[in-house]
Amino acid sequence: MNTITICCKLQTNEIQEELLLENSTLFAKACNIALAYRSPKQTRFSLHKACYQCIRKETGIKANYACQAIARVVASKRAKAFSARSFVCDVRTFSVLGNSVRISVHTGKPIQVPMLLGEYQRKHLQGDKPSSATVHRQNGSWYINICIKKEVVKKEAGIDFGVDVGIANVAYTSSGTAFCGKALWAKKAQFRRVRASLQSKRTRGAKKVLRRLSGKERRYIRAEIHKISKAIVAEAERHTAKNIRLELLKGISQRVSIPNKHTSRMGRAWSFYELQSFVKYKAEAIGMSVEFVDPAYTSQSCHQCLLENRLTLGSRSGIRFCCPIHGKKHADHNAAQNISLGLQLKKLYPSELAKAGKEGGANCNCARKVARKSRFKAHAL
């Protein structure tokens, strides 16, 4: 079962807007009451028992909204207060009726609001029954995020597909496709230049522009990550993959140190985790499984030798990897192919690795070496 969220804009009139605002104000009040009752070890059940009556009495909110408010408080462990921006509906408090949605509000009579639907929304809303929804306000307009549970048929047959992530190449697949990071880094450098120039001016106008630009870079990077992850999953599907293998990158941003402060900062701002999580949910939506493997020695060992059941540690020079037996090959492609095998090299070849005396944590070492080789100067990015 896979859950997807469909965001639709609500075409509200003035009365409906007021009712939605009042409902979200009461929902926030209910959350804040539940928050006052919350203790560190409290479960949803115990919190419900402690504050449900109080919420109903003080807010007059519907029973299902009271339950959803308690659930939200239990889920948001760090929240200190809730504001009237949104409220959560369940199957009893909302329903989709063609191009409109019926939402229960505190007055008792439900409101029917038309939705602005595109082709994508129509396709997913047809036939499937939504499980829950969040109504929220953004820039003066109201939206509804509808959650739909979809039955996904798992792929049983197919190949294992490996993806190597890095800095010079944002991603490299075991099928040999590279996703170059050059344009991305150039755009990031451009954002940094504009920001630095505006910051140095210190005028009121510059501050106004900075405020407008804040978040633009983040949105740009996020959109790029979406495009890359979509292309990776499409590539895996084209090669009839049933399983995508990614590197387990715990703490890579600390380990990847590039000897250039501008580039180092940009490298850290790049989210490997976000790319992998986008690949994961996009792959799972079409029935592929995703596996995280230990990346140790995947950049240092030869893929062909591993296929012949032996470990050969080669040398790397820039983007070239050289195996003493099989010769030169693309380093990232070799690493991606090794990742696709999903072997635990540390466990399989402990004596060979001890004899070679090399350190693991392959991909970050490679990123460091590539960075040194290509010098990664800010103007070159």
Q: Could you tell me if 358 and 187 are in contact, meaning their C-beta atoms sit under 8 angstroms apart?
A: no
Residue nearer to Zn ion on the CB measure, 258 or 302: 302
* Cα separation, 67 vs 258, whole angstroms: 50
Residue nearer to Zn ion on the CB measure, 16 or 337: 337
Q: Is 322 in the site for Zn ion (CB under 5 A)?
A: no
Residue nearer to Zn ion on the CB measure, 283 or 319: 319
Q: Is 326 in the site for Zn ion (CB under 5 A)?
A: yes
Q: Could you tell me if 322 and 349 are in contact, meaning their C-beta atoms sit under 8 angstroms apart?
A: no
Residue nearer to Zn ion on the CB measure, 246 or 302: 302
Q: Is 320 in the site for Zn ion (CB under 5 A)?
A: no
Closest CA to 246 of 213, 273, 212: 273
Quick check: helix, strand or coil at residue 328? strand
Q: Which helix (H) or strand (E) holds 341?
A: helix 331-341
Residue nearer to Zn ion on the CB measure, 38 or 329: 329
Compute φ and ψ for 203, nearest 5 degrees: -100, 170
Interface with Zn ion by CB under 5 A: which range of 9-17, 53-61, 276-284, 317-325?
317-325
Per-residue binding letters, 264-303, with Zn ion (x by CB under 5 A): --------------------------------------x-
Among 269, 305, 322, 378, which residue sits at the site for Zn ion (rule: CB under 5 A)? 305
Q: Give the chain's radius of gyration (CA, Å).
A: 26
Task: For 244-255, give one letter per residue: b (16+ CB within 10 A) or e.
Answer: bbbbebeebeee
Among 323, 336, 362, 370, which residue sits at the site for Zn ion (rule: CB under 5 A)? 323
Interface with Zn ion by CB under 5 A: which range of 140-148, 174-182, 320-328, 334-342?
320-328
CA angle 139, 144, 149 (to 5 degrees): 145
Shortest Å distance, C-beta 158 to Zn ion: 26
| Sites of contact with Zn ion (CB under 5 A) | 302, 304-305, 312, 323, 325-326
